[in-house]
Copies of this chain bind each other. A is one copy, B any other.
Amino acid sequence: MVNLQDNGKYETAWCPGCGNFPMLDAMKRALVKLDLAPHQVLFVSGIGQAAKAPHYLNANLFNGLHGRSLPAATGAKIANKNLVVIDESGDGCMYGEGGNHFLAAIRRNIDITVIVHNNQIYGLTKGQASPTTDEGVVTKAQPQGVIEEPFHPLAVAVALHAGFVARSFSGLQDHLVDMIVAAVRHRGFSLVDVLQPCVSFNKVNTFAWYKKRCSELPNEYDPTDWNLALRTASEWGDRIPIGVIYKNDRPAFEDRIDALKGGPLVGAPVPQDALAQVMAAYA
């Protein structure tokens, strides 16, 4: 049995009061609930305050480039499909620099879980607008206020028939633990967008702001109803729905690739007779 101690205790580089702390705790609790030992899990992250999170627990980790965690996670999962791969990064990393990979990963439906620390701001670089910053928010880089329509990650994910799409809030830890657990258990691409207050740079979307708005989906909500999901995913205002917004059972990438139908690629022998055949075709 895995327990919380297995996840270690590290000093963080985060600001006191940051929403990243409860997210870290929730992740540790989820790993315990999932009974995953540190060596069974591979975290992959990008660059940003959020992306440091996996350094603060015990697990395998590939902390790659800003915006490029998803391709690295995809490659690692292909190399060893037995790994539980969790990709954890910030909104800027995942939806900004990494936007194209976000689209592709959804479409690929490979069995990785993506946890986005969505603080609606670029934290580590000191407070520029991120793709999810609300319209009108003023920053040093946007002194006239943001004029772009915010990116709607959940709506886009549902529009592209992502396998599993959920939203949670760092201030509701039990809910968050449940979402992470469900996302990891889902076979295929899973997205959990987590609203996370940044106390240093986001003075608009604060803990209280989120707290007031986040509202759990009712029990009778049917996350397999795509039309409903699309509407629900697009809700963002006085009420922000949290929970599993959409899911389906599209086959996962690794279940559709011949070479992945056996054991993992890592360590598998190279078939020398097949190679001889390949060469012979050039005669």
Q: Which residues of B contact A108 (CB under 8 A)?
A: 147-148
Contact present for B99 and A148 (CB under 8 Å): no
**A142→B175 CA distance, assembly (Å):** 40
User: Which range holds the interface residue count of chain A?
Assistant: 20 to 34
Closest chain B residue, CB of each to CB of A149:
B107
Do B109 and A257 have beta carbons less than 8 Å apart?
A: no
Pick the contact of A231: B99, B103, B149, B227 (CB < 8 A): B227
- The CA of A190 and the CA of B106, in the complex, are separated in Å by 25
* Least Cβ–Cβ distance between A275 and chain B, in angstroms: 18
User: Which residues on B sit within 8 Å (CB–CB) of A140?
Assistant: none
Interface residues of A in 102-155 (CB under 8 A from B): 103-104, 106-109, 131, 144, 147-152, 155
Binding site secondary structure of chain A: helix
Which one, B107, B250, B258, contacts A144 given CB within 8 A?
B258
Is there a chain B Cβ closer than 8 Å to A230's Cβ? Answer: yes
Interface segment among A58-66, A156-164, A239-247, A266-274: the answer is: A156-164
A82 neighbours in B (Cβ, 8 Å):
none
- Say yes or no: is A234 at the interface (Cβ < 8 Å to chain B): yes
Per-position contact with B for A175-215: 1 when CB-CB < 8 Å, else 0? 00000000000000000000000000000000000000000
Q: In the assembly, what is the distance between CA of A238 and CA of B161, in Å?
A: 19
Interface pair B109/A148, CB less than 8 Å apart: yes
Contact across chains for B160 and A256 when beta carbons are under 8 A apart? no
Q: Is the CB of A150 within 8 A of B107?
A: yes
Contact B148 A159, beta carbon cutoff 8 Å: no
CA distance A149 to B161 in the complex (A): 7
Q: A56: CB under 8 A from chain B?
A: no
Select from chain B the residue with minimum beta-carbon distance to A252: B147
Q: How far is the CA of A162 from the CA of B155 in the complex (A)?
A: 13
Query: A96 CB to closest chain B CB, in angstroms?
Result: 8
Give CA–CA (A180, B109) in the complex, Å: 35
The answer on a CB contact under 8 Å between A147 and B99 is no
By a beta-carbon cutoff of 8 Å, the part of chain A in contact with chain B is 97, 99-100, 103-104, 106-109, 131, 144, 147-152, 155-156, 158-161, 227, 230-231, 234, 250, 253, 256-258
Q: Which 7 A-B pairs have the closest CB atoms?
A: A99-B100, A155-B159, A100-B100, A107-B148, A147-B256, A107-B149, A159-B159
6 contacts between A and B (CB under 8 A): A103-B156, A104-B148, A107-B131, A155-B159, A156-B160, A159-B234
